Structure 1
């Protein structure tokens, strides 16, 4: 079985993280704080592992190949920091069983991630795939291994 391309893998990962955020929001709306805590734990793990794969493998490879360190990867890193802060806000709201806080922070995170993911999927990933050229399969393996670690 061949390794999927990193752009396909990371795009599917975006959808999986979106689904976890939806589970968290639904559980909080229903007042099911046990399910909300479980969804939050999975969401935090998966989003942070996704960010690590990008920040530790994809972004440096892109920057090395293009010579751009103040371009799209810088913006992506800044948006990752915003998302991390929102994940913490969500964690605080879940810890307080605050459904309104989960709703508000969850909606803000959803909007941020939707915009962020569109930039990655439509600009960064295709460009990174193009500049990786023959190294794309090896890069994909590294990214996927880091994400799954």
Structure 2
């Protein structure tokens, strides 16, 4: 549960920052929206790096598979990265309609992505990597 709990908490932290960005855009405060979105984007990309550089390689080594769930998660990370750029551009141009269009797509993708990670992949990591869990969480915290 140690890996699951740590990673789930990071998902929640990212969600909160994005909700603040959405609220700021809704209020027409694009300066504040940019600040919250930047926080969300940085935290989300750091989270992806922790998964792609620490957690996923450990899981892949333990399961001897790079074509399973981690492959799918990495593909979804790339989709999210593209949407982050679209949203950033919409904020820069103060385009509320474009922001919410891309934000809706991002939220659907992230909700599905996070659910797969939290209900399946992280549980698998807790199981397969139980002897390394504390070490991996510490490595991710300092990453």
The bucket for the TM-score relative to the shorter chain is over 0.9
Please report the RMSD computed on the Cα atoms of aligned residues, expressed in angstroms: 1.1
Q: Is 1:59 equivalent to 2:65 in the alignment?
A: no
Q: Give the SS at the match of 1:69.
A: coil
Any gaps of 5 or more consecutive residues in structure 2?
Answer: none
CA distance in 1: counterparts of 2:110 and 2:142, whole angstroms:
23
Please give the TM-score of this superposition, normalised by the length of structure 1.
0.93
Partner of 2:140: 143
Contact 1:23 / 1:36 at 8 angstroms: preserved in 2? yes
Cα separation, partners in 2 of 1:133 and 1:6, compared to 1, 3 Å: closer
Q: Distance in 2 between matches of 1:83 and 1:109?
A: 7
Match of 1:20 in 2: 17
Shift >4 Å, 4+ stretches: none
TM-score by length of 2: 0.97
Q: In structure 2, what is the Cα distance between the partners aligned to 1:7 and 1:129? A: 7
Number of aligned residue pairs: 143
Q: Cα deviations across residues 62-95 of structure 1 (Å, max 9, x unaligned)?
A: 0000011000000000000000000000000000
Q: Is residue 106 of structure 2 the alignment partner of residue 109 of structure 1? A: yes
